[in-house]
Amino acid sequence: MANSNPSVWHSPIRSISDDPSSPYFLHYSDNPGLVLVSQPLTRDNFASWSRAMRIALSVKNKLGFVDGSILKPTDSEVDLLNAWIRNNNIVISWLLNSVSKDISASILFADSAKEIWNDLKDRFQQSNGPRIFQLRRDLITLKQDQDSVSVYFTKIKAIWEELNHFRPMCSCGKCSCDGVKNLEEYVQMDYTMIFLMGLNDSFNHVRSQILLLDPLPPISRVFALVVQEERQRAIGNHNTMNTSSRNMAFAIKNA
């Protein structure tokens, strides 16, 4: 049976660094200047930043260097130790590239990616209570205002998805009653209600029509209905403007 411990990974054919399935493998694009996430870490976004970084590191097969599952080899394992040091330094570079400048200065002299990760987690991970309060407040107070429906929905979805991260869910796969299903339906209804509440008053008609539906459609369908209404208005306004322009041109021509 093959050894599954990445810290003692062995290949009978080639070097561990040449095996694409090994966490020690470095693709030619895995350079120190690579930026893995679009939004750098600040003092207020650790939850979303850490999730994005974990996904990116997982894709690169380097997550073990920050969660501690890939242990540093002993001095006697020279080739393996050199590979570990090289990969550890690459991951450190990626972390430095993915945080704000004032934060990067405080982690520059850390010896391992795991040390940096734990330091950032200890400093910036907020306890659940204050963060949930902030997200709920942002969700309730968010309004469409001058945004398009798509931009407004994107803002709501970003807050909702992070809030969902804190919501307890059944993960055992053995729940057989309808309680979990009913709870999920209620949560989705809450999502839909918040979206509808923040829409501009100009959407009162379509909002009223949606609320009359029983059961309420899923949020994706509600969004599609509102966007459709927005597009129809844009077409109507465009046609009205074209008619007005043609009438004006005709009046000028016959003046």
pLDDT tens figures, 92-125: 999 999 999 999 999 999 999 999 999 999 998 8
Query: Do residues 191 and 205 make contact, with C-beta atoms less than 8 angstroms apart?
Result: no
Predicted pLDDT at 248: 39
39, 119: one domain: yes
pLDDT tens figures, 43-89: 888 888 999 999 999 999 999 999 999 999 999 989 999 999 999 99
pLDDT tens figures, 12-48: 445 677 788 899 999 989 999 999 999 999 988 888 8
What pTM was computed for the model? 0.64
Domain assignment present for residue 1? The answer is no
Predicted pLDDT at 5: 53
**44 lies in which domain range?**
6-124
Predicted pLDDT at 4: 47
Predicted pLDDT at 169: 67
Domain assignment present for residue 70? The answer is yes
For the chain, how many structural domains are there in total? 2
Predicted pLDDT at 2: 45
Predicted pLDDT at 247: 47
pLDDT tens figures, 197-239: 999 999 999 999 999 998 899 999 999 999 999 999 888 765 5
Domain assignment present for residue 50? The answer is yes
Predicted pLDDT at 74: 92
Please say which residue of 72, 101, 124 terminates a domain.
124
How many percent of the chain have pLDDT more than 70?
82
Q: What is the 3-state secondary structure of the chain?
A: CCCCCHHHCCCCCCCHHHCCCCCCCCCCCCCCCCCCCCCCECCCCHHHHHHHHHHHHHHCCCCHHHHCCCCCCCCCCHHHHHHHHHHHHHHHHHHHHCECHHHHHHHCCCCCHHHHHHHHHHHHCCCHHHHHHHHHHHHHHCCCCCCCHHHHHHHHHHHHHHHHHHCCCCCCCCCCCCHHHHHHHHHHHHHHHHHHHCCCHHHHHHHHHHHCCCCCCCHHHHHHHHHHHHHHHHHHHHHHHHHHHHHHHHHHHCC
226, 181: one domain: yes
50, 76: one domain: yes
Predicted pLDDT at 237: 65
Domain assignment present for residue 25? The answer is yes
pLDDT tens figures, 167-199: 776 666 666 666 677 888 888 999 999 999 999
Question: By C-alpha distance, which of 74, 96, 95 is closest to 85?
Answer: 74
Predicted pLDDT at 17: 75
Predicted pLDDT at 159: 92
Predicted pLDDT at 45: 85
Query: Do residues 152 and 198 make contact, with C-beta atoms less than 8 angstroms apart?
Result: yes
pLDDT tens figures, 134-151: 899 999 999 999 999 999
The residue written with tokens 């008619």 in the block is 243
Query: Do residues 38 and 45 make contact, with C-beta atoms less than 8 angstroms apart?
Result: no
Residue 243, pLDDT above cutoff 50 = no
How far is the first Cα of the chain from the last one, in angstroms, to the nearest whole number? 93
Domain assignment present for residue 178? The answer is yes
Predicted pLDDT at 100: 94
108, 145: one domain: no
Could you tell me which residue, 131 or 149, shows the higher pLDDT?
149
Please say which residue of 124, 155, 177 terminates a domain.
124
